[in-house]
Amino acid sequence: MEKSISKNLFWRLLERFGAQGVTLIVTIILARVLDPESYGVVAIITVITVILQVFIDSGFGTALIRKKDADDLDFSTIFYFNLLTCLILYVGLFFISPIIAQFYENEDLDLLIKVSGLILIVSGFKNIQVSYISRNMLFKKFFWATLFGTVVAGAVGIFMAYSGYGVWALIAQNLINHTIDTIILWIISGWKPKIMFSFSRLKFLFSFAWKMLLAALLDTIWNEMRQLIIGKKYSSEDLAYYNKGQEYPRYGVSAINTSIDSVMLPAMGNVQKNCDELKRLTRKAIKIGSFIMWPIMLGLAACAPALVSVLLTDKWLPAVPYLQIFCVVYALYPIHTANLNAIKAVGKSDYFLYMEIIKKVIALIVIVSTIWNGPLFLALGTIATSVISLIINGFPNKKLLNYRVKEQLFDIIPYFILSVIMFCIVYSINYINVSNWIKLIIQVPLGISIYFFGARIMHFEPYFYFKNMLLKFFKKKRLDSNSSTNKGGE
């Protein structure tokens, strides 16, 4: 299993970093061309579609991954059910889009929502393919599909932005990206839906999935609620700065946390009856995720003032405080994800739902307490809710895995302390009276050197794990290359 986890984690990380790297370049170019107001409008649309997409998966993706004997009948049943759900959701969105446009006092939103909402139908064709690939750990295929779609969509988005299409460039980029990904996955995944459907299978999977659905819906609505509030109560520019500040740290989470999540969840599902092995995998996920996430997030926060000025221009500098706040929030995500995956793996979806209800009640209190003080205080509230959520998410695993929150915190403290030291040194470079370009040239290699040197001398376990993974990968590539050369010589 260790070999399979390492191999698939490598390809998943490669896919995420590749896709997010291309997307990052595209968004930087678009941000330099487009004005913050355009991003504010798209942020409202994105929040709406993200909430609706929760219904498309409905927790069935997780249910299929963790079900040990899932077969074509299960996958086909969920595929047709999801497709029907997508059509219903899009029709509903199509008819309420004028109401949404009126609510935000922006008549352009009507058509933008109708076009952007097509992504819901695309997701109906894509989601089960993603679940099939995740269950069977075929992440090498996922790499090629995602990367190609991201590159093509990015090129189209940049062309449209420079051609003066404004907000439509962002809409087209997102829609084309998902469409191309979906088409390629259908070609290369190896699975196609059969003409079969079972209400009994749907009912069985729904018994687990509905709790996941409700929990995910609560989580998504509360995560996106602040953006909806800012878009209505404040200005499109305020929403754009908030959204952009959240966007760049989120790339790190998507590249790293999603990779670990998608590989570790199937692995955990395979050992769901073995408490000791499940604890070992949960602990490993927390350590690996925190080892990578803390330095990236705190490093990004330290470089934020110079980075935003150089890459996005000074018009985006008001986004810097939001970016730094969300770096702290997202640095905690590996702990959230690992604990929740362990709960999913043992099938305790009722725990999952109860925890989400408690967390969202607390989140609502924080939102109501901060909404009157401006968007920045709304963002600061996410740090408080994230810390409280960390304790709540970890609490059930004291009973399920004998893995206490206190033990989890001790597992991440070394990575946190080293990252804070690195942050302080790198952030101090901002006070040097040189150009922002020079600051970045100093900050980035300095931060990387401090962290990896510290990880080596402190003998961090994940450091040697990744070092060995890379050595094995390049050794295999070298052997394959030599083998090909020898065959060619024959």
- Kindly state the average pLDDT of the residues 196-220: 79
- 135 vs 387, higher pLDDT: 387
Q: How many domains, the chain?
A: 2
Q: Distance between the two ends of the chain, CA-based, in angstroms?
A: 37
**Residue 481 has what pLDDT?**
58
Burial 279-312 (b: 16+ CB within 10 A, else e): bebbbbbbbbbbbbbbbbbbbbbbbbbbbbbbbb
- Of 233, 258, 285, the last residue of a domain is 233
Statement to judge: residues 249 and 126 lie in one domain: no
Q: Average pLDDT in the 105-121 region?
A: 89
Specify burial of residue 148 (Cβ count, 10 A radius: 0-12, 13-18, 19+): middle
Task: State which residues form the domain around 418.
Answer: 234-475
Reported as a single tens digit per residue, the pLDDT across 214-225 is: 777 777 777 777
Residue 446: pLDDT band (50, 70, 90) is very high
Percentage of residues of the chain with pLDDT beyond 90: 19
Residue 422 pLDDT: 95
**What pLDDT, on a 0 to 100 scale, did the predictor assign at position 450?**
94
Taking 70 as the threshold, does the pLDDT of residue 249 lie above it? yes
Same domain, 303 and 273: yes
Q: Are residues 210 and 287 in the same domain?
A: no
Residue 17 lies in a domain: no
Are residue 343 and residue 461 in the same domain, yes or no? yes
> Lowest mean pLDDT: which of 130-139, 262-271, 292-301, 435-444?
262-271
Same domain, 388 and 286: yes
Please indicate, yes or no, whether residues 194 and 303 belong to a single structural domain of this protein: no
What pLDDT digit, counting tens, does each position of 399-419 carry?
Answer: 878 888 888 889 889 999 999
Q: Give 174's pLDDT tier (boundaries 50, 70, 90).
A: confident
Which residues have C-beta within 8 Å of that of residue 273, sequence separation ≥ 6? none
Mean pLDDT value of segment 245-273: 66
Report the candidate in 324, 228, 335 with the shortest Cα–Cα distance to residue 292. Answer: 335
Residue 265: per-residue pLDDT = 56
Q: Residue 5: its pLDDT value, please?
A: 56
Q: What is the pLDDT of residue 218?
A: 75
Q: Once rounded to an integer, what is the mean pLDDT over residues 450-458?
A: 91
d(CA 151, CA 453): 34
pLDDT over 70 at 453, yes or no: yes
263 and 379 in a single domain? The answer is: yes
Helix spans in 34-138 (H): 36-57, 60-66, 72-103, 109-116, 118-135
Whether residue 484 has pLDDT greater than 60 = no
